[in-house]
């Protein structure tokens, strides 16, 4: 039976010193919902999408996504839980499996996405879209290459106009939105990860 794809956004960045208030968070969630609605069109697994900033630890079920929204990489949930000795965080976000719980951690860094990494900078135009795009990218890793066997290595995809591509050499621009290649990759992922990807929920509110 088809289920709702719930996306839980866990805000640990406050309002980014006034640059990303409640209305901006709501707009980002609405954009992200439209992004994911396009991905489920080709899938029989889901029939609806819900994106919330108010999730509790008890809520996510298999097939849902969780993304931690942090001020910077110094607050990294990945870094706190990964046991490897050389964790390299991405410039705007990181996704990695927690080796203890086997839950996948996705996180994004708001100061980087909204302010280009400069604490004193004004917010970029299209900041709400920029945040939604970066979350979409991390959740692409979450579904496709954070656990083995990989469905698709996101950074190896040939997809210059999409959100799923190598972002280390060419970072996402604030106005970019998902394309057909992105959506098709998610559809493949939903099929190949039929049982869902376990999410890291330990740092969600109780």
Residues that bind Zn ion (CB under 5 A): 167
Q: Which residue, 57 or 117, has its beta carbon nearer to Zn ion?
A: 117
- Kindly tell me which of 45 and 117 has the beta carbon lying closer to Zn ion: 117
C-alpha dist (Å) from residue 150 to 62, 108, 198: 18, 21, 15
First to last CA, the chain: 28
Cβ closest to Zn ion, residue 15 vs residue 114: 114
Taking the complex as a whole, the smallest distance from the CB of residue 100 to Zn ion amounts, in Å, to: 23
Closest separation in Å from C-beta 141 to Zn ion: 6
The torsion angles phi and psi of 103, rounded to 5 degrees, stand at -85, 145
Question: Which residue's CB is nearer to Zn ion, number 159 or number 167?
Answer: 167
Shortest-Cβ-distance residue relative to Zn ion? 167
With respect to Zn ion, which residue has the nearer C-beta, 102 or 156?
156
Q: Whole-number minimum distance, CB 142 to Zn ion, in Å?
A: 10
User: Please, what is the minimum distance in Å from the beta carbon of residue 59 to Zn ion?
Assistant: 26
CA distance 84 to 81: 9
Cα separation of 26 and 86, whole Å?
35
Sorted by sequence, the CB contacts under 8 Å of residue 149 that are 6+ apart come out as none
Report the residue number, 152 or 167, with the smaller CB distance to Zn ion.
Answer: 167
Among 96, 103, 22, residue whose Cα is nearest residue 57: 103
CA-based radius of gyration for the chain: 16
Is the preceding peptide bond at 196 cis, omega within 30 degrees of 0?
Answer: no
Q: Is 75 exposed, middle or buried (0-12, 13-18, 19+ CB in 10 A)?
A: middle
* DSSP, res 44: S
User: Smallest gap, in angstroms, from Cβ of residue 153 to Zn ion?
Assistant: 10
Report in angstroms how near the CB of residue 195 gets to Zn ion at its nearest.
24
């Amino acid at each position: 039976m088809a289920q709702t794809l719930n996306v839980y956004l866990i805000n640990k960045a406050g309002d980014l010193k006034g640059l990303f208030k409640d209305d901006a968070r709501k707009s980002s969630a609405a954009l992200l919902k439209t992004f994911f609605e396009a991905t489920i069109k080709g899938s029989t697994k889901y029939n609806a999408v819900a994106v919330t900033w108010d999730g509790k630890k008890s809520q996510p079920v298999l097939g849902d996504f969780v993304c931690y929204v942090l001020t910077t990489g110094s607050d990294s949930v990945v870094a706190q839980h990964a046991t490897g000795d050389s964790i390299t965080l991405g410039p705007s976000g990181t996704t990695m499996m927690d080796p203890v719980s086997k839950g996948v951690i996705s996180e994004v860094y708001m100061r980087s996405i909204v302010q280009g990494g400069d604490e004193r900078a004004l917010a970029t135009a299209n900041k709400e879209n920029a945040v939604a795009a970066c979350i979409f990218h991390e959740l692409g890793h979450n579904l496709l290459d954070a656990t083995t066997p990989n469905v698709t290595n996101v950074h190896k995809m040939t997809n210059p106009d999409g959100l799923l591509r190598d972002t280390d050499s060419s970072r996402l621009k604030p106005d970019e939105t998902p394309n057909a290649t992105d959506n098709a990759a998610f559809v493949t992922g939903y099929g190949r990860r039929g049982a869902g990807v376990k999410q890291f929920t330990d740092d969600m509110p109780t």
